[in-house]
């Protein structure tokens, strides 16, 4: 399975009595986008956070680039080449735009390389360059999302976990975010894309997984999933 | 007039000590959510560091440096030995752990050194005074103000200009996100404790230089005031801790200086009444922490 960058098998996540994720298995192929779909509370974010090392796994395994990373700490997952743009963006509001990128660059051993990446990202997302000295908390939702993605890219990941990047954004901005997803894939970054907006996610995805009540309800090619009544049910079930 | 100016100097001097201690408490709380009741013992340990180095014949400045170093070491050691194992535990469990650490250290001080105050003899010049015009200013309060203001300024620069400092501020907002960006949690926590130790050590220097002795309870009372300062300023807010420290120090000195003799037993009550009044109007403190806390 040399072409699988992420392989999750039989993942269970529990919060006390709540069984949030039940035996979820999914994979992301090299250079591809896997869309993880489902209603609010279906277990999407719990799944992604468990992969990132930020939620305890009750059972299951996570293999990243062929290595077993089950139960690894978030810091080590990042060093394995995985970055996350988390749900809710979670930018550091009291730091400037540039300082948000500097903090994310702390993981890069070479300071000059980190500075180069910062410059490149501020060119790639010109709005961040323009607002580099502004407090990140004062950015608009879309700009904060750009920052969250740019911050994730500071570690030059080979696998990006994108959790709800379009949530709460204006339609124009949503289009821009999905353009970015396609650009990143073209650059060879594999992506696990968590989305509520199933229609758009299925347009860019190479593979799709639908969660309902914490378990996989359907998985397969995006075209097949788009026409699968399970998808509609998964969203109505919540 | 001279009297007023001297009292203002005393207020800044005492407020500076409270501010350093409160800032140390706040920086740890903002990142680890630990209210460290053993913070006073970090300061006391620094005081004994000074005492022992002087007893072994070290020159005064060297001894003070050892005191600060000792405070940093004990702060890092208590994080490693007691608090690291408790990471992620709830606030109450952490609080009780810090009580335990505090009691253990106090008993160690009593049994290995002395339950009574031990003298710290620093050069006589340090307890003398000098004149500026008509005003007599003590060397002790001057040192205290200089040390406190440089420590606060240095820390501000560190937090604003260095990547590690930025990571500390980011950790106070959203520690989990910081880890998700690959920043090592242990390093951030250790840095927070080292800074709190450094500030407590600086407070120990200032405190012992002015009082000339160390006892097992040395750190307890000033840290108690520093707790009040952090709550007054806004728990977890660094700027608030500093402001709260100066306010509590200021009220304390002013009540001491200007209150009629008959009311002096009520001094602490008056300080606390002022704090309660302030919190009634601003329940989150004077400068509330940004709520980066997530459920």
Taking an 8 Å cut-off on Cβ atoms, the answer to whether A78 and B178 are in contact is: no
The pLDDT of residue B216 is above 60 = yes
B37: pLDDT strictly greater than 90? yes
Beta strands in A65-189 (DSSP E): 67-68, 82-85, 159-163
Q: pLDDT value at position B295?
A: 31
Shortest alpha-carbon distance between residue A102 and chain B (Å): 6
Q: Could you tell me which residues of chain B have a Cβ less than 8 Å from any Cβ in chain A?
A: 163-164, 166-167, 169-170, 173-174, 176-185, 290, 292
Q: How far apart are CA B285 and CA B272, in angstroms?
A: 14
DSSP label at residue B80: I
Torsion sign (Cα): B38, B40, B45, B46: positive
Distance from CA of B181 to the nearest CA of A (A): 6
Tokens 């940004």 -> residue: B290
pLDDT, tens digit, 9 for 90 and up, residues B106-145: 999 999 999 999 999 888 888 888 888 888 888 888 988 9
pLDDT band of B89, cuts 50, 70, 90? confident
* Nearest-angstrom CA–CA distance, B35 and A18: 30
**Cα gap B70→B227, rounded to integer Å:** 22
What's the CA gap between A149 and A100, in Å, rounded? 11
Q: What percent of chain B has pLDDT over 90?
A: 71
Say what angle helices A97-104 and A141-153 make with each other, to 10 degrees.
30
Tell me, yes or no, if A95 comes closer than 8 A to chain B by beta carbon. yes
Give the residue among B2, B4, B16 at the shortest CA–CA distance from B203.
B16
Tokens of A93: 């509001």
Tens-place pLDDT, residues B153-190: 999 999 999 999 999 999 999 999 999 999 999 999 99
Alpha helices, H only, B181-263: 185-211, 220-233, 238-258
CB A161 within 8 A of CB A85: yes
Summarize the confidence of residues B270-285 as an average pLDDT.
89
Whole-model pTM: value is: 0.90
SS3 B216: coil
Nearest CA of chain B to the CA of A158: how many Å?
A: 14
Q: What backbone torsions phi and psi does residue B34 show, to the nearest 5 degrees?
A: -110, 125
What pLDDT, on a 0 to 100 scale, did the predictor assign at position B137? 87
Kind of pairing between the strands at A33-37 and A190-195: parallel
CA distance A77 to B88: 20
| Cα separation values, A101 from A115, A123, B43, B60, B232, Å | 9, 13, 36, 44, 33
Q: Are B234 and B286 in contact (CB under 8 A)?
A: yes
Look up the ipTM and state it. Answer: 0.94
pLDDT of residue B190: 97
pLDDT value at position B291? 54
Average pLDDT over residues B72-80: 98
Task: Enumerate the residues of chain A whose CB falls inside 8 A of the CB of residue B167.
Answer: 103, 106
Considering only alpha carbons, which residue of chain B is nearest residue A53? B180
Q: Select the residue from B181, B186, B236, B290 to test the A interface by mutation, using most A Cβ atoms within 10 A.
A: B181
Residue A155 gets which letter from DSSP?
A: T
Count of Cβ atoms closer than 10 Å to residue A80 Cβ:
16
What is the Cα–Cα distance from A126 to A149, expressed in whole angstroms? 13
Q: A151 CB near a chain B CB, below 8 Å?
A: yes
CB atoms within 10 A of CB B8: 14
Picking from A73, A94, A151, the nearest residue to B181 by CB comes out as: A151
| Whole-number Å distance between alpha carbons of A5 and A1 | 9
Tell me the C-alpha distance between A43 and A56, whole Å. Answer: 14
Are B183 and A107 a contacting pair at CB < 8 A?
A: yes
- From the list B170, B185, B292, the residue facing A75 with the nearest CB is B185
Residue-level pLDDT at B210? 85
Q: Is the pLDDT of residue B213 over 70?
A: yes
Closest residue to A103, CB basis, from B170, B290, B292:
B170
B131 - beta bridge partners? Answer: B136
- Whether the Cβ atoms of residue B293 and residue B235 lie closer than 8 Å to each other: no
Give me the tens of pLDDT residue by residue for chain A, a chain 238 residues long.
458 999 999 999 999 999 999 999 999 999 999 999 998 889 999 999 999 999 999 999 999 999 999 999 999 999 999 999 999 999 999 999 999 999 999 999 999 999 999 999 999 999 999 999 999 999 999 999 999 999 999 999 999 999 999 998 999 999 999 999 999 999 999 999 999 889 999 999 999 999 999 999 999 999 999 988 888 787 765 4
Residue A149 CB-half CA count within 13 A: 26
For CA atoms B54, B59, B63, B64, the dihedral sign is positive
Please indicate whether, in this complex, the C-beta atoms of B166 and A103 are within 8 angstroms of each other.
yes
Any idea what DSSP says for residue A86?
A: -
Q: Which of A74, A70, A15 is nearest to A46 (CA)?
A: A15
| pLDDT the model gives residue A237 | 56
When computed from its CA atoms, the radius of gyration of chain B, rounded to whole angstroms, is 19
CB–CB contacts below 8 A, A to B: 70
**pLDDT at position A236:** 63
């Amino acid at each position: 399975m040399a072409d699988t960058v992420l392989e999750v098998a039989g993942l269970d996540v529990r919060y006390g009595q709540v069984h949030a994720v039940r035996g979820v298995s999914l994979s992301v192929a090299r250079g591809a986008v896997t869309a993880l779909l489902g209603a609010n509370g279906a277990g999407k974010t719990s799944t992604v956070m468990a992969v990132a090392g930020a939620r305890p796994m009750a059972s299951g395994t996570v293999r990243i680039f062929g290595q077993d990373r089950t139960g690894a700490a978030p810091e080590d997952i990042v060093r394995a080449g995985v970055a996350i743009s988390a749900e809710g963006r979670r930018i550091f509001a009291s730091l400037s735009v540039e300082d948000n990128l500097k903090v994310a660059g702390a993981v890069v051993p070479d300071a000059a390389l980190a500075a180069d990446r910062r410059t490149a990202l501020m060119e790639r997302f010109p709005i961040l360059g323009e607002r580099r000295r502004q407090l990140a908390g004062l950015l608009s939702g879309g700009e904060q999302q750009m920052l969250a993605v740019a911050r994730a890219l500071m570690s030059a990941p080979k696998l990006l976990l994108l959790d709800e990047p379009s949530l709460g954004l204006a339609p124009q901005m949503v289009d821009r975010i999905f353009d970015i997803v396609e650009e990143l894939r073209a650059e060879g970054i594999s992506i696990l894309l968590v989305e509520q907006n199933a229609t758009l996610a299925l347009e860019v995805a190479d593979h799709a997984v639908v969660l309902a009540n914490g378990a996989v309800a359907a998985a397969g090619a995006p075209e097949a999933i788009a026409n699968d009544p399970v998808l509609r049910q998964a969203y109505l079930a919540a | 007039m001279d009297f007023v100016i001297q009292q203002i100097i005393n207020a800044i001097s005492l407020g500076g000590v409270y501010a350093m201690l409160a800032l140390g408490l706040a920086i740890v709380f903002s990142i680890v959510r630990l209210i460290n009741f053993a913070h006073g013992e970090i300061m006391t340990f620094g005081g004994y560091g000074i005492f022992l180095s002087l007893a072994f014949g070290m020159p005064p400045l060297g001894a003070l440096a050892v005191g600060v170093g000792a405070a940093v070491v004990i702060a890092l050691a208590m994080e490693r030995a007691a608090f690291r194992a408790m990471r992620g535990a709830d606030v109450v469990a952490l609080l009780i752990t810090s009580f335990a650490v505090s009691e253990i250290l106090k008993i160690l001080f009593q049994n290995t050194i002395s339950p009574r105050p031990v003298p710290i003899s620093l050069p006589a010049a340090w307890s003398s005074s000098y004149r500026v015009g008509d005003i007599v200013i003590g060397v002790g309060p001057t040192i205290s103000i200089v040390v406190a203001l440089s420590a606060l300024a240095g820390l501000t620069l560190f937090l604003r200009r260095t990547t590690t400092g930025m990571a500390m501020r980011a950790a106070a907002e959203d520690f989990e996100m910081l880890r998700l960006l690959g920043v090592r949690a242990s390093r951030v926590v250790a840095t927070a404790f080292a800074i709190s130790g450094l500030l407590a050590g600086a407070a120990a220097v200032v405190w012992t230089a002015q009082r000339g002795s160390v006892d097992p309870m040395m750190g307890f009372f000033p840290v108690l005031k520093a707790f009040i300062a952090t709550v007054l300023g806004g728990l977890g807010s660094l700027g608030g801790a500093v402001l709260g420290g100066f306010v509590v120090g200021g009220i304390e000195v002013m009540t001491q200086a200007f209150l009629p003799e008959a009311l002096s037993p009520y001094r602490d009550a008056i300080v606390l009444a002022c704090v309660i009044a302030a919190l009634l109007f601003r329940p989150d403190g004077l400068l509330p922490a940004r709520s980066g806390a997530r459920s």
